[in-house]
Chains A and B, each alone.
Chain A
Amino acid sequence: MKHISLTIDGIEVITTPGRTILEAAAEAGIRIPTLCYDPRLEPYGSCRVCLVEVEGQGRGFLPACATPADEDMVVRTDTEKLRGIRRTIIELLLSDHPNDCMTCESAGNCELQDLAYEYGVRKPRFQGEQHHHEAIVDNPIIERDYNKCVLCGRCVRICREVQGVGVYDFANRGFEAVPGTPYNRPLTETPCEFCGQCVSTCPTGAIVSIPSKGKGRSWQVRKVRTTCAYCGCGCQIDLHVRDGRIVDVSSPLMVGPGEGNHCAKGRYGYGFVHHSDRLTTPLVRKEGELVPATWEEALGLVADRISKAVKEQGPDSVAFLASARCTNEENYLFQKLARAVVGTNNVDHCARL
């Protein structure tokens, strides 16, 4: 494939045709701030935070997320003028944003907060009308508070472009524009699949997950990368752990089969891990009742009864049913137990169900 070379902040960058300036810069390790960008979505160019200067361009400022890198382009990403524009944009956004980072669910995981921090915006120069929408809690999973919305359209776009469902669109226009469901119907009365993709892409606290609310700030949780426990897609997920409990799940962007996308089960189906129904001790049936027992007792009983059956009826009087939900290693050991220890090929699992 042909390569193109361009100059970004004085560095010569080689990239493949079709890449945007943003992507080319990222390849060269140059970070350009963004707000409406999500690599899963088509470029949108609405927030104007990623504007860069391109030499020889009419107005001079182009959105890095939506502009293809071109041969011999000379790009600057961090000039005084650009910083000024970015600061103004952040100030404008904050002029219509509740200043409640203290209690906002997304504090620490908020792209607007990060931008305000990076550009040192404490208090916006501009004051004026602010939105006062009621927070919408019309289902047990997704809460929407459009006072925190920056109109990046990521929820609208991910639901349409990636999920192909299109629960949301913008309503109205200009200052009155707001994303939402048609006729403000509750999500439960739309085709919503509760995948939480809108939550995952929302750069602020406008759309948050209800089950994880108040359970832990981003810096208070440890993220453990693992594979989803549900269907066979094998999506990679990050379990958010705080105080020994899973408090949330997210999907690492552009990693694994899901590439950062997830479904309702993968994203919200973690509650069973800490459910009070979990078995916490071996149980042994005594006088018809299952009663708690020690491991020693339970394991001894299992080994004895298997050994007895083998001795009396032969190894094929024992059968093993493995699990499509246990790990490879466990299943390997399980069939090894059947074959090598007990001596039977009576081992199967629920693959067919």
Chain B
Amino acid sequence: MEKEGCSCNRSFVPPEDLSPLEDIVERYRGERGALISVFHEIQQTYGYLDEGIMGELAKKLGYQLSHLYGLATFYTQFRLKPIGKHLIRICHGTACHVRNVREVTEEAKRFLNIVPGETTEDMYFTLETVNCLGTCAIAPVLVVDGVYHGHMTPSKMKKLLEKMVKEGGREASGQD
């Protein structure tokens, strides 16, 4: 199992390249029930659970594809579509909720012009909301590419996004 849980590394392997998949399968061969870990690794490598990759995985591990699909759609961590260069995950835990995280999310939606679960057209940002990141003391909180940002407000959200846009040389899709 990978010790680094962080997903900051955002250069993904294209799904046509099966060699990393083979490595992953080899590492978990014979380990009972390790599918979820395998999925995590595939997602870390390819960015998402590509249909073709899943088909190959089913063949290699002797699972029905339906089982893999059922599993992948059950757990919220898994994505069936490619994600953007930057992943923003806003915590909607109770502590964040009572500290009005909704307004932070509204700002992100407004700025990026997408709703949670979506990726901007230029594949630059993906916005997600998550149940609880377990950092309730610094609520409202969000994680951008593995880095935590606490005590968020709509204006801090805006500044953060503007900074990312500027650093990435991307044209902002949001206004002002």
Contacts and interface: CB of A to CB of B under 8 A. Distances in A.
B74 A182 contact: no
A181 interface: yes
Given A168-B66, A169-B67, A182-B54, 19 more contacts: A160-B64, A166-B64, A169-B64, A169-B66, A169-B69, A169-B70, A170-B70, A170-B73, A170-B74, A171-B70, A182-B64, A182-B66, A182-B68, A182-B69, A183-B65, A183-B69, A190-B65, A190-B66, A191-B64
Majority secondary structure, A binding face = loop
Q: Is the interface of B mostly helix, strand, loop or mixed?
A: helix
Contact of B73 (A167, A172, A190): A172
Contacts of A165: 64
B69 A166 contact: no
Contact of B66 (A167, A172, A173): A167
A169 B69 CA distance: 8
B168 to A, nearest CB: 32
B121 interface: no
B26 interface: no
A160 B70 CA distance: 13
17 contacts: A160-B64, A166-B64, A167-B64, A168-B66, A169-B66, A169-B69, A170-B73, A171-B69, A171-B73, A172-B73, A181-B66, A182-B54, A182-B64, A182-B65, A182-B68, A183-B65, A190-B66
Contacts of A173: 73-74
Nearest to B55: A182
B22 interface: no
Interface in B56-97: 64-70, 73-74
Contacts of B73: 170-173
B74 A183 contact: no
A171 B66 CA distance: 9
A168 B68 CA distance: 11
Interface in A185-221: 190-191
A191 B64 CA distance: 9
Interface in B27-75: 51, 54, 64-70, 73-74
Contacts of B66: 166-169, 181-182, 190
A173 B66 CA distance: 15
A169 B54 CA distance: 15
A167 B64 CA distance: 7
B58 to A, nearest CB: 8
Select the residue from B68, B69, B74 with max chain A CB neighbours within 10 A: B69
Contacts of B74: 170, 172-173
Interface in A153-167: 160, 165-167
Contacts of B65: 182-183, 190
B69 to A, nearest CB: 4
Nearest to A178: B73
Contacts of A171: 69-70, 73
6 smallest CB-CB distances across A and B, nearest first, come from: A169-B70, A182-B69, A166-B64, A169-B66, A182-B65, A171-B73
